[in-house]
Amino acid sequence: MELTGNTLKDFWIWYLLPKQRKTYKTSSLIGGNNVAMIRFLSMSFAERYGVFEDYFDSVGVDIEISKYHVSQEYYYMINDGDEENRFNTRPEARTAAIEKADELRNEVLNKYNMNLSKELRDFIYWQRNNDLLKDPLTIDYELAETYLENVNK
């Protein structure tokens, strides 16, 4: 269960925001972001899944894992879409759901073809300072494109 591409970059930016550091109790760790990242990577499968689910919720990708009562198999749905596949165990369904959510999120991020790095982090802080960020977990990617174009001139 891993994230890839721009979704992975976007996840780390989200995970290292002060609000998430407080939520996941990493704000008091000595060593900064690298230690917080190591702590995340050392979490159990279920803990990492929960953090990934929180991340995807924050960007509008709703993941639901359910169980068929008759066959006792698990399935996942994303954004109330059609049921996807059947799995023998909940961890298998969780892994497949995260992989599908990663794919969907990468499509969105790749559409904007943004450099999700220091410039985006600076943009998030700029939005906060100018009271343009209505929800601290939601990034206005069109505004980000404009910001990045001006920064890169």
- pLDDT tens digit sequence for 56-97: 988 888 898 888 878 888 888 887 676 667 888 899 999 999
For residue 5, give both structure tokens: 């591409």
One domain for residues 88 and 126: no
- In whole angstroms, give the CA distance from residue 42 to residue 66: 27
Q: Is the pLDDT of residue 137 over 50?
A: no
Judged by phi (left if over 0) then psi (alpha if -120 to 50, else beta), residue 32 lies in left
Q: Is the pLDDT of residue 29 over 60?
A: yes
One domain for residues 52 and 83: yes
Q: What pLDDT is stored for residue 74 in this prediction?
A: 86
Mean of the pLDDT values across residues 6-18? 84
Mean of the pLDDT values across residues 106-113? 78
Question: Per-residue confidence at 55, pLDDT binned at 50, 70, 90?
Answer: very high
- CA-based angle 88:94:97, to the nearest 5? 110
Top pLDDT among 41 and 145 is at: 41
One domain for residues 121 and 94: no
Other CB atoms within a 10 A radius of the CB of residue 127 amount to 19
One domain for residues 60 and 80: yes
Q: What is the pTM of this model?
A: 0.69
The H-or-E segment that residue 86 falls in is strand 84-87
- In whole angstroms, give the CA distance from residue 114 to residue 120: 8
One domain for residues 66 and 94: yes
Q: Which domain holds residue 92?
A: 5-113
- In whole angstroms, give the CA distance from residue 53 to residue 70: 26
